[in-house]
Chain A
Amino acid sequence: MNEIINLIIKSAFMDNMVFAYFLGMCSFLAVSKKVSTANGLGLAVIFVLTCTAPLNWLIQQNILNEGALSWIGPEFATVDLTFLQLLMFIAVIASFVQLVEMIIEKFSPALYGSLGIFLPLIAVNCSILGGSLFMVQRDFNLQEATAFGFGSGFGFYLAIIALAAIREKLKYSHVPDGLKGLGITMLLTGLMGLAFKTFIGMTL
Chain B
Amino acid sequence: MSEVKEKEVVKVKKSEALFSKRRRNILIDPLDDNNPVTIQVLGICSALAVTIKLEPTIVMSLSVVFVMIFSSLLTSLVRDYIPTRVRIIVQLAIIASLVTLVSEFLKAFNYEMFKVLGAFVGLIITNCIILGRLEAYAMGNKPYDSVLDALGSSVGYAWIILAVAFFRELLGSGSILGYKVFEMIGWSSFPTNGLFVDSIGAFIILGLIIWVQRSRNGYVEN
Contacts and interface: CB of A to CB of B under 8 A. Distances in A.
A86 B41 contact: no
Interface of A: 19-26, 29-30, 83-87, 90-91, 94, 120-121, 123-126, 128-130, 133-134, 137, 176-187, 189-191, 193-194, 197
A137 B115 CA distance: 11
B222 A86 contact: no
Nearest to B215: A178
B89 interface: yes
A176 B211 contact: yes
Interface of B: 38, 41-49, 88-89, 92-93, 96-97, 99-100, 103-104, 118-119, 122-123, 125-128, 131, 198-204, 206-208, 210-215, 219-222
A30 B203 contact: no
B207 A123 contact: no
Q: In the complex, which of the residues B42, B203, B210 has the most CB atoms of chain A within 10 Å of its own CB atom?
A: B203
Contact of A126 (B93, B126, B200, B202): B126
A189 B220 CA distance: 20
Given A83-B100, A197-B200, 17 more contacts: A23-B49, A25-B48, A86-B125, A126-B123, A126-B127, A130-B126, A137-B118, A176-B211, A179-B214, A181-B221, A183-B207, A183-B211, A186-B204, A187-B204, A187-B208, A190-B207, A194-B200
A190 B200 contact: yes
B126 A178 contact: no
Contact of A186 (B42, B92, B126, B206): B206
A189 B222 CA distance: 19
- Mostly, the A contact residues are helix
A194 B196 CA distance: 12
A24 B45 contact: yes
A140 to B, nearest CB: 14
Nearest to B129: A26
Contact of B46 (A83, A87, A126): A126
Contact of B203 (A83, A133, A176, A187): A187
Given A25-B45, A86-B99, A193-B200, A133 B119 contact: yes
A25 B44 contact: yes
Contacts of B99: 86
28 contacts: A19-B200, A21-B49, A22-B44, A23-B49, A26-B128, A86-B122, A87-B100, A90-B96, A91-B89, A121-B128, A124-B126, A126-B45, A126-B123, A126-B127, A130-B123, A133-B119, A137-B119, A177-B214, A177-B220, A181-B221, A182-B221, A183-B210, A183-B214, A184-B207, A185-B207, A186-B203, A190-B203, A193-B203
A123 B122 contact: no
A181 to B, nearest CB: 3
A135 B64 CA distance: 24
Given A86-B99, A86-B103, A86-B122, A182 B202 contact: no
B126 A29 contact: no
A126 B119 CA distance: 11
B37 to A, nearest CB: 9
B126 A129 contact: yes
Q: Which 8 A-B pairs have the closest CB atoms?
A: A181-B221, A190-B203, A186-B207, A178-B215, A126-B45, A133-B119, A178-B214, A25-B44
Residue from B93, B131, B210 with most neighbouring chain A CB atoms (10 Å): B210
Contacts of B128: 26, 121, 124
